[in-house]
Structure 1
Amino acid sequence: MTRETCCSSFFKNSKPYMGMISLQFGYAGMNIITKISLNGGMSHYVLVVYRHAFATAVIAPFAFFFERKAQPRITFRVFVQVFILGLLGPVIDQNFYYAGLKLTSPTFSCAMSNMLPALTFVLAIICRMEKVEMKKVIYQAKVVGTIITVAGAMLMTLYKGPLVEMAWSKHRQSQTAATSSAATETSERDWVIGCILLIIATLAWAALFILQKAALKTYSNHQLSLTTLVCFTGTLQAIVVTFVMERRTSVWRIGWDMNLLAAAYAGIVTSSISYYVQGLVMKSKGPVFATAFSPLMMIIVAIMGSFILAERIYLGGMIGAVIIIVGLYSFLWGNYKEEREAKMKRQLEETPQIGVNDSAQVNGNTQLMIESRNEVNGNIEMPKAGADKLRSVAIDLPTCHPPMH
């Protein structure tokens, strides 16, 4: 195998990992920007509408130009799938998540979201998209890794420990001590409500992954089209919900400020791009693999929050982050071994077995080839010693077997 082939193979195998890690940075930025916008008074219902309107406007042209041929028929079953995907994503998941984010903090909201791999794993087992054989080490690693990941997230939530002073945030923390104290008191009053909202959002998010995997069977070659349909349907549903929940027309006003940035960033990065990348990853790796990277978002948000929002980082959070990384790699190791085992099994099933008749035919073809080569050598006029030497070389050639697939 050449060096170029090795590099190409490595890049191809690492694309799902790089895609999901990049998405976590995008999600982390969305949490920070959205928190600033919500604290400024923007309605989360309106934010969801604008977010998916931006997403639809961005992704629709790509779907039209690249996937307009051989579009799947929109049957009643496909329509129901798209409708439910729009309901789970924009209406339930994001509205409840934004409401919980407003009542808590970005780091805490991300910590609650780390239940996503466990909930998705359970839903995938119920829907028979994942199998568990606890006698095998690979499945034990997946289950234990998921439990460790959730335990690390819960540790960050329940145990703070002493404050860890960061050199870059020490100055800002002293300036915003009074504001942080007031925000902490407010969040403590609404902490329970925020936790419930975040749990509901996580459940909807897990169900979205499962249903999106089923919808990709129809749109296996039209991921952009599926993303456009989901974003457009979600926009219409979010508009209806906003009209019901928000009676004031002033909430729809948006200018060249943080509210516009939050809506555009969330729509372009964490809706259109993320839906498409998630679909590609789930098509090759499955829904549980896609959700296993969500703990990284919490670590990124904790670091970015200390820079931008002057959030305080405690020892419990750092210990929880290390535990989450351990659980994440345990899960990924089990997932990698499971895929490798399944790949080897498929190769064994596809490899033809050579029987006695096949071996005889191969040997016969080899003998015929040698005899033909000798006849050719006999027709060529050359010295007797040279002819004998050439025959000797021809007979000593290695036996050629047909390649095994």
Structure 2
Amino acid sequence: MRQNLCEIVERMKVVIVLLMVQAALAGVIVFYKLAVVEGMSMRVLIAYRFIFATACITPLAFIFERESKANLTWKVVFQGILSGLFGGALGPNLFIASLSVTSSTYATAMSNLVPIATFILAAILRLERLGIKTLAGQAKLWGTLLSIGGAMILTFYKGKELNLWSTNINIVKHGGHHHTSTRHAAVGDQVLGSLLALASCLAFAIWYIIHAKMGENYPFTYSASALFCITASIEATIYTIITDRNWSDWKLGWNLRLLSVVYTGAVGSGLTVVLMSWCLRLRGPLFVSIFNPLTLVYVAIVGSLIFDEKLSIGSIIG
């Protein structure tokens, strides 16, 4: 009996870890929203996020995986650069661009397309077999079609707002930039936000594929994660310096900005990237990506509790 229970726990270990990862990533989106209200540049926050993640992970790689240096090849370095580009510079920046013209719940809902994009890319690269005549293949096909349909509903249909529960709490009301944030949410171009979110989904799907391949060539969880964070921090910082030359945006104090940077860096990138690298090596990119929609559940609950965001019929159906 005890042996069977241990086997079940062992098989469920990856699932439990991915549930924790999605909860942590939902926290990142919440801090993104709070940082926007605080007036912080999102591009600066993303650059800081990977800088802090690098500071957290790199020492662990040196301590626990010293032998990884001998296995570091130029191929792995190139994969790390691409991983940092799509998962660090492009994906998050496209997502926050979408977040700026939509709501946190909506932008997160569009990330449901990440598993579809990952599946299509994996099938093209022959990392995933469709097997249309099998039950598993049919489930993948119908899941893809349903996800695309849900994203289209989210994009073009809003419907009546629903008030499932109300705490009458909106912590962003106390921020000096609340009016601007609300105005953007009210008049933002939903189609533009959807296109940005789709581009973000594609970037993250490519990141899943590249990072999984890097894990095959370089099976060192901490070192692979550190390589990703190092390249992501460099690329994101260069992009931010080019597009945002207001040096006062880089100033941090003992305030919400620092808390946002620490959480998104240490937890949102440091911890989650290590855990996802481990899961990608064990179960592959498609299995890891199918947990993305869970972030929507966490964000919708938190958003309705502390941001007073309303769920619409279109959001729920989508």
- State whether TM-score is above 0.5: yes
- State the partner residue of 2:248: 250
Displacement of 1:138 in angstroms is: 1.5
Q: State the secondary structure of the residue aligned to 2:67.
A: coil
Tell me if 1:84 matches 2:82. yes
Tell me if 1:130 matches 2:128. yes
Q: 1:134, 1:72 → 2: CA distance? A: 42
Q: State the secondary structure of the residue aligned to 2:293.
A: helix
- 2:100/2:185 contact within 8 Å kept: no
Displacement of 1:215 in angstroms is: 0.5
* Unmatched segments (≥5 aa) in structure 2: none
Q: Select the residue among 4, 7, 10 that pairs with 2:5.
A: 7
Deviations 1:242-263 (A, max 9, x none): 2211122111111122211211
Displacement of 1:154 in angstroms is: 3.5
Displacement of 1:75 in angstroms is: 2.4
- State the partner residue of 1:65: 63
Corresponding pairs, count: 313
Q: 1:209, 1:72 → 2: CA distance? A: 25
- 1:31/1:106 contact within 8 Å kept: yes
Q: 1:273, 1:79 → 2: CA distance? A: 21
Shift in CA distance, 302/157, structure 1 to aligned 2, threshold 3 Å: farther
Deviations 1:223-260 (A, max 9, x none): 10011111011111222112211122111111122211
- 2:83/2:228 contact within 8 Å kept: yes
- State the partner residue of 1:276: 274
- 1:111/1:157 contact within 8 Å kept: no
- State the partner residue of 2:112: 114
Displacement of 1:184 in angstroms is: 5.5
- State the partner residue of 1:43: 41
Q: 1:162, 1:251 → 2: CA distance? A: 38
Q: 1:116, 1:180 → 2: CA distance? A: 32
- State the partner residue of 1:196: 195
- State the partner residue of 2:156: 158
Q: Which amino acid aligns with 1:163?
A: E
Tell me if 1:298 matches 2:296. yes
- State the partner residue of 2:141: 143
- State the partner residue of 1:205: 204
Q: 1:82, 1:185 → 2: CA distance? A: 35
Q: Which amino acid aligns with 1:271?
A: S
Q: 1:206, 1:248 → 2: CA distance? A: 32
TM-score scaled by structure 1? 0.73
Q: Which amino acid aligns with 1:319?
A: I
Displacement of 1:45 in angstroms is: 1.7
- State the partner residue of 1:317: 315
Q: Which amino acid aligns with 2:123?
A: I
Shift in CA distance, 184/191, structure 1 to aligned 2, threshold 3 Å: farther
- State the partner residue of 1:323: none
TM-score scaled by structure 2? 0.91
Q: 1:161, 1:197 → 2: CA distance? A: 22
Q: Which amino acid aligns with 1:195?
A: S
Q: Select the residue among 222, 225, 228 that pairs with 1:227.
A: 225
Identical aligned residues as a percent: 33
Deviations 1:125-159 (A, max 9, x none): 11110111211122001111232233234434433
Q: Which amino acid aligns with 1:223?
A: T
- State the partner residue of 2:73: 75
Q: 1:182, 1:230 → 2: CA distance? A: 32
Q: Which amino acid aligns with 1:276?
A: V
Shift in CA distance, 244/296, structure 1 to aligned 2, threshold 3 Å: same
Q: 2:257, 2:182 → 1: CA distance? A: 20
Shift in CA distance, 4/73, structure 1 to aligned 2, threshold 3 Å: same
- State the partner residue of 1:28: 26
Which deviates the most, 62-71 or 198-207?
Answer: 62-71
Q: 1:5, 1:126 → 2: CA distance? A: 40
Shift in CA distance, 212/70, structure 1 to aligned 2, threshold 3 Å: closer
Deviations 1:242-301 (A, max 9, x none): 221112211111112221121111111221111111111121211001010111111211
- 2:90/2:200 contact within 8 Å kept: yes
Shift in CA distance, 284/100, structure 1 to aligned 2, threshold 3 Å: same
